[in-house]
C-alpha cells in the first residue's frame, strides 16, 4: 500500500486495489469499481416540535448494480459523512457478491442526532428523506434498509411514504420493516445469526469447542446483543465481557446476556451491571478470549492496538472495524479474522429474503428463514476459506477476491467493458 488511507473510503479503495492486483483485474473494470456508480446529496427540511424548520443533509450512494438492484441501509448519525457512506456502499457491493445473492451495493445516511429528536420529528425526517429520493430508489432499482440508529418503525414510515408517492402499496421498496407491514420473520437477529453460523464454521476449521469458548463483544446494540445471546444459547459459549458507547463490563465467570440486555434497556448502558466490574472499551479489545466480536462502529482495531489482541478469532460483526494495517498484523500474529462483509452478511441475506417475499406476497416461517440463511452463510464461508487456503492469504483478502471476481464477471458479461 503506497499511501496510508486518510478516511474510510480510501481504506475501502486500498482493500480493492490489493485484490485487483492479485486478480490481474482488467484496468477498466478496476477503474469503475474504485468509484460509486451514482451518488445523491439532498437537503431535507423538517418542521421541528418547537415550530422551527431545520434542514438536514442526506446522502444515498448507489455503488454498483452489475449483479442486481442496489441494496443497503440508511444511517441516522451526527457524524455521518459522504466518505463513510461511499465506503459502506462499496462494502455492501462486496457483501452481496460474497454470499452470492443477486443484489448490488448501496448505502444512505442523514446527518442528525436521533437521540435528541422526538418520534414526530423522526417520522417527518424519515418521510422527508424518501420525498427527496423516491425517484432514485425502488424495488427494482435500490432497496434501503435499517442501519445505525434507524429501526423497523422508521422503515415502515419510509415504505408508507414511498407507497403514497407511487400510488400503490410497495412493500418491496424497503426491508427491515415491521412484520405487520411486510417484514420478514428472522430479520431482527439476522446479522448476529449469520455471524454465529460463520463462527461455527471457523470453530470446526480450527478445532475449537465452542461450548468451552470465551467471548468478548465490543458494541452491545442489535448485532452485538443478539450475537451474545445466540452464542450463549445455541452453542454454550461463555460471554465474559461486553461494551457499548459508554463503556464495558467484565466477569471471567461469565455474564448472562439476557440480563445484560435487560439492564441496558432499563439504564441506557451495560455499565454497572451487578456482579461485573466496569472496564474500558480499549481493555475489552485486549482481553484473553477465544472470540472477539467487534460489533460497534468502524476502525476500532488499528495498528496501535492490533498487536495486543489476544483472541484466537476476530468475528467482524461491525462494518469496517479493522484497518488494513491491523488486518495485516492480526493475520501475521495467527489471529483468524472473519471479515466483515462475510461475518455480518446475515442481515442483508435476510433482507434479500424479505425483498423476495414482498415481491411475491408470500411469506416464510421462521424455521425456513433460518435454514435458508444457514445454507447461504455456510456456503459463502467455505468459498472464502478455500480461497484463503489456496492462495495462503488472509480471510479478508480472500473475501475480496471472491466478491470482486463475481462482480467483475457480471460487468464483463453485461458488456460494461
**What ranges in 174-311 are assigned the alpha helix state H?**
190-206, 222-235, 257-267, 281-285
For residue 107, indicate whether it is catalytic.
yes
Q: Of 408, 413, 398, which is closest to residue 19 (Cα–Cα)?
A: 398
Instruction: Evaluate whether 230 touches 189 at the Cβ level (below 8 Å).
Output: yes
Instruction: Evaluate whether 59 touches 131 at the Cβ level (below 8 Å).
Output: no
293 beta partners: 217
Q: Of 335, 345, 325, 321, which is closest to residue 402 (Cα–Cα)?
A: 345
Instruction: Evaluate whether 94 touches 400 at the Cβ level (below 8 Å).
Output: yes
Cα–Cα dist 350/410, whole Å? 23
Q: Of 327, 286, 324, 277, which is closest to residue 305 (Cα–Cα)?
A: 286
Cα–Cα dist 201/342, whole Å? 12
Cα–Cα dist 34/338, whole Å? 23
Active-site pick, 71, 107, 177, 264 = 107
Q: Of 413, 414, 407, which is closest to residue 16 (Cα–Cα)?
A: 407
Long-range CB pairs of 1-5 (<8 Å, 24+ gap) are 1/324, 4/325, 5/323, 5/324
Neighbours of 23 (CB within 10 A): 15
Instruction: Return the exposure string of 351-390: e unless at least 16 CB atoms fall within 10 Å of the residue's CB, then b.
Output: bbbbbbbbeeeebbeeeebbebbbebbeebbebbbebbee
Neighbours of 413 (CB within 10 A): 9
Task: Count Cα atoms within 13 angstroms, Cβ side, for 88.
Answer: 29
138 beta partners: 142
77 beta partners: 111
Q: Of 102, 156, 163, which is closest to residue 131 (Cα–Cα)?
A: 163
Catalytic amino acids? 107
Amino acid at each position: 500500500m503506497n499511501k496510508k488511507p486518510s478516511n474510510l473510503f480510501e481504506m475501502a479503495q486500498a482493500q480493492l486495489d490489493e485484490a485487483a492486483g492479485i486478480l490481474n483485474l482488467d484496468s477498466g473494470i478496476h477503474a469503475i469499481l474504485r468509484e460509486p456508480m451514482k451518488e445523491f446529496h439532498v437537503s431535507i427540511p423538517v418542521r421541528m416540535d418547537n415550530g422551527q424548520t431545520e434542514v438536514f443533509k442526506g446522502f444515498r450512494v448507489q455503488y454498483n448494480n452489475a449483479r442486481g438492484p442496489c441494496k443497503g441501509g440508511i444511517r441516522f448519525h451526527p457524524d455521518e459523512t459522504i466518505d463513510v457512506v461511499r465506503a459502506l456502499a462499496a462494502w455492501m457491493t462486496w457483501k452481496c457478491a460474497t454470499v452470492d445473492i443477486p443484489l448490488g451495493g448501496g448505502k444512505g445516511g442523514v446527518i442528525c442526532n436521533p437521540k435528541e429528536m422526538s418520534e414526530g420529528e423522526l417520522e417527518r425526517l424519515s418521510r422527508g428523506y424518501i420525498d427527496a429520493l423516491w425517484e432514485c430508489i425502488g424495488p427494482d432499482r435500490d432497496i434501503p434498509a435499517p442501519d445505525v440508529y434507524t429501526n423497523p418503525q422508521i422503515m415502515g414510515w419510509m415504505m408508507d411514504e414511498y407507497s403514497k408517492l407511487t400510488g400503490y402499496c410497495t412493500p418491496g421498496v424497503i426491508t427491515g420493516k415491521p412484520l405487520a407491514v411486510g417484514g420478514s420473520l428472522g430479520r431482527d437477529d439476522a446479522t448476529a445469526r449469520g455471524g454465529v453460523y460463520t463462527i461455527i464454521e471457523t470453530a470446526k476449521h480450527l478445532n475449537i469447542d465452542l461450548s468451552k469458548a470465551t467471548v468478548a463483544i465490543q458494541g452491545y446494540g442489535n448485532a452485538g446483543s443478539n450475537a451474545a445471546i445466540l452464542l450463549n444459547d445455541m452453542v454454550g459459549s461463555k460471554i465474559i465481557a461486553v461494551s457499548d458507547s459508554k463503556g464495558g463490563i467484565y466477569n471471567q465467570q461469565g455474564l448472562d446476556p439476557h440480563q445484560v440486555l435487560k439492564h441496558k434497556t432499563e439504564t441506557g448502558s451495560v455499565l454497572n451491571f451487578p456482579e461485573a466490574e466496569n472496564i474500558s472499551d480499549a481493555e475489552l479489545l485486549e482481553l484473553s478470549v477465544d472470540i472477539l466480536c467487534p460489533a460497534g462502529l468502524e476502525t476500532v482495531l488499528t495498528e496501535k492496538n492490533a498487536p495486543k489482541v489476544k483472541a484466537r478469532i476476530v468475528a467482524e460483526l461491525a462494518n469496517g472495524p479493522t484497518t488494513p494495517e491491523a488486518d495485516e498484523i492480526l493475520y501475521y500474529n495467527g489471529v483468524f479474522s472473519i471479515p466483515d462483509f462475510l461475518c455480518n452478511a446475515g442481515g442483508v441475506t435476510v433482507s434479500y429474503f424479505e425483498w423476495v417475499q414482498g415481491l411475491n406476497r408470500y411469506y416464510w416461517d421462521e424455521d425456513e428463514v433460518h435454514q435458508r440463511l444457514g445454507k447461504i452463510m455456510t456456503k459463502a464461508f467455505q468459498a472464502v476459506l478455500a480461497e484463503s487456503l489456496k492462495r495462503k492469504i488472509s480471510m479478508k483478502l480472500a473475501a475480496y477476491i471472491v466478491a470482486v471476481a463475481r462482480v467483475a464477471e457480471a460487468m464483463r458479461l453485461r458488456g460494461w467493458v
